[in-house]
Chains A and B, each alone.
Chain A
């Protein structure tokens, strides 16, 4: 395992919530790493069943063979009325439901899954299921693209650019949920041992199905129907709609979060030490130009995010100007630090994410170090003085909040009766405060610190064990502090009770590690994003077309005329 380098950014910098909420996809992101794995190891993926009616409803199966095993992705497409189509967690039916299972899919298992998978949370599933998910149509894009293909026309890229996908997932479940396989079963399976690898792979297969489905419907409607142009096919990703359900994950899996951020920060340190050459400077400028265009094409109705995008475009131009001057001989760290120090996080983190693209050999090995066994242990044999010293060294940031200030003690987090979805309530105003989730790490550490200080005054030489015998309910936070002090970046340095909290930052922090693009906030508590937009298509991979891992910052394609008349076969 790679040892943390001493040049890493301090946790108070790297774990600042606004910064985390400004991260972009990188080479380390899970959608990027799974695609590299598929191509490097030449996974064989075939569509083994495609049984849809004229309206595109029915069943499809993708079978994948790797050096370690066989997997099947079973997709059920069903008719859904507009009234029932909802991205909300309370939805009970979806346009598409699908499952990735281990092994081949015979008719018996397909039949069995057809009874459970469409039910999603309400169903009980076979332990062979590795991933369970569902997706809803972008009605506008689906109808528009189907109509165009039926008429023998390619859709307008500008229209596609507005949404960027045919379907959006609203949850992608793994790790034992609703009877499916435990993550433990994947730990020793090299194919999916990296975090969320199986989930990302299933979503990638869904992306292929979506295009095949619209092409199939168009073909059923007209003999003159054409296939979607490859450039447009690539430009269609899979959407995702994410609400607060994602937020507690980062607080409840601090060891895992630390591994993710450590991998990113280690990559930044490694790349920052590299010297600027004429070649890599030119490469950086090329990527920067692409990024500038991408941000010009990306828009959102969220004012804060839209302003960030506009500022990114200006900051990118500034950096471009600087890079047009002689920088050769300096380190990349020097160049970017001098340009980033006064920039918004959205821009400075973009510059570092681009830097990682220049040095794949310094980055890609870190993908294998982003998992964590989450094995937390308490040592009650230390003195309370030692325990206090740990807090003062690693959790000093928690001690500065004044929880008597109503602005700092405004929100509480709770689970709603609606499918246990996490929600935020205002303390003293909304019901449920007595049932709040223990996500306020800063508050809990501060309470613990005060309690051990008081206990120490009466028992100066006390051990933690003595304290816990009198205060057994403090074990949880004591164990977290001790265990997390062994990690570099376990805690988000923010007060999750504060009135000015932007929950969206928590969602984006996680989604950036997934590798999504086009952040489109719909409120400060939920966001729509796109996955795999610009990525090589399955048919490109299966034709062994040389795959360059350069599909980030997807741009609206310019269609060549030859792609407008290919008749669907």
Chain B
């Protein structure tokens, strides 16, 4: 079935609120999913896989393994990035504003691609950002944002061995800079083959197409999200109906 961007956002907000996310967190989770789906990055497919785990893990906090003025290492305890990605990004951005640069290594985290929408908000504010992660199998990703542009350039690499620039599975490296923009290095191609480059204008086209034609969602996922959203609803009583219009 086809749904609109706003429907994804609204339903995901309600669903994640129904799971137990707090105000702010459920708004950002919904934004990340909708943004990814709008730009062809399979936001809904990732959510479908993540849903069974979200309801169990939402209350568990992440752990700060190390932090100083610039570097931060956080263990997400095998959560989805929807659970912790926004607040951690807020903190890293704050460090970058203070020190000019900030670096994060995020360990044991799922659904990393979903963070791209949230990083874009900070890029728009004037941060240069680079995010690097390795997906399951032998696929590495780098997303570079130029300050002022909400859309990144995303590169996908095929690799036979794990290159140092691609963090270990279920991890993600994020760099913020106030002064230096991040460029793709030829170094990656020594260890990996560039499989696909998606520039901002391609993401823009995907976005426009999704707005115009709607977004496909499986009825199964739609009903699963609706069921979670229904956790927020209160049964009707005669008392509640009184004068309600």
Contact = CB atoms under 8 A, between A and B. Distances in A.
A and B assemble together: yes
Q: Interface centre among B1, B61, B232, B233, by most A CB within 10 Å?
A: B233
A127 B7 CA distance: 12
A155 interface: no
B4 interface: yes
A182 B121 CA distance: 20
B97 A379 contact: yes
B214 A381 contact: no
A430 interface: yes
Give the 3 A-B residue pairs with the shortest CB-CB distance, closest first. A526-B245, A476-B24, A243-B245
Contacts of B27: 476
A473 B16 CA distance: 13
A526 B243 contact: yes
Contact of B64 (A420, A423, A444, A469): A469
Given A176-B10, A416-B233, A417-B234, 13 more contacts: A177-B4, A177-B6, A178-B7, A182-B211, A184-B5, A243-B245, A377-B125, A380-B91, A414-B233, A430-B239, A437-B232, A475-B22, A524-B243
17 contacts: A124-B2, A179-B1, A179-B4, A184-B5, A185-B212, A381-B98, A416-B234, A423-B240, A431-B235, A465-B91, A468-B87, A468-B90, A469-B87, A473-B24, A522-B243, A525-B243, A526-B245
Contacts of A178: 7
A338 B243 CA distance: 39
Interface string A521-540: 01111110000000000000
A184 B244 contact: no
Interface in B161-183: none
Range for the number of chain A residues in contact with chain B: 35 or more
A87 B91 CA distance: 48
A423 B87 contact: no
Contacts of B2: 124, 127, 179
A244 B213 CA distance: 32
Contact of B4 (A127, A415, A527): A127
B87 A475 contact: yes
A425 interface: yes
Given A417-B236, A418-B236, A380 B94 contact: yes
A523 B95 CA distance: 52
B93 interface: yes
Contact of A88 (B98, B121, B245): B245
Interface string A35-71: 0000000000000000000000000000000000000
A445 to B, nearest CB: 12
A444 B3 CA distance: 33
Contacts of B211: 181-182, 184-185
A180 interface: yes
A415 B233 CA distance: 5
A89 to B, nearest CB: 8
A241 interface: yes
A183 B64 CA distance: 40
Contact of B93 (A381, A416, A421): A381
Interface in B202-216: 211-214
A177 B94 contact: no
Interface string B222-245: 000000001111111101111111
A425 B7 CA distance: 27
A439 to B, nearest CB: 10
B30 to A, nearest CB: 12
A472 B95 CA distance: 17
Contacts of B3: 179
A477 interface: yes
A424 to B, nearest CB: 8
A182 B91 contact: no
Contacts of A127: 2, 4, 212-214
A435 interface: yes
B25 interface: yes
Nearest to B98: A381
Nearest to A180: B4
B233 A435 contact: yes
Contacts of B24: 473-479
Contact of B87 (A88, A177, A435, A472): A472
Interface in B13-45: 22-25, 27
Interface string B108-130: 00000000000001000100000
A430 B237 CA distance: 9
B84 interface: yes
A268 B109 CA distance: 54
Given A475-B86, A526-B245, A379 B94 contact: yes
Contact of A243 (B61, B213, B244): B244
The SS class assigned to the B binding surface is: helix
A421 B64 contact: no
A435 B234 contact: yes
Contacts of B231: 435
Contacts of A377: 121, 125
A117 interface: no
A181 B242 CA distance: 34
A416 B6 contact: no
Nearest to B87: A472
Nearest to B233: A417
A488 interface: no
Nearest to A429: B239
Contacts of B214: 127, 179
Contacts of B90: 378, 380, 465, 468, 475
B4 A181 contact: yes
A241 B236 CA distance: 21
A177 B233 contact: no
A460 interface: no
Nearest to B67: A469
A127 B241 CA distance: 34
Contacts of B97: 379, 381
A72 interface: no
Interface string A455-475: 000000001110011001111
B22 A473 contact: yes
Contacts of A381: 93-95, 97-98
A398 to B, nearest CB: 16
A175 interface: yes
A375 to B, nearest CB: 8
B233 A241 contact: no
A230 interface: no
Contacts of B235: 416-417, 431-432
Given A430-B240, A526-B245, A435 B232 contact: yes
A465 B245 contact: no
Contacts of A477: 23-24
B137 to A, nearest CB: 32
Interface in A84-101: 87-88
Contact of A469 (B22, B25, B91, B245): B91
B7 A179 contact: yes
Interface in A167-192: 175-185
A438 interface: yes
B91 A476 contact: no
Interface in A5-36: none
A266 interface: no
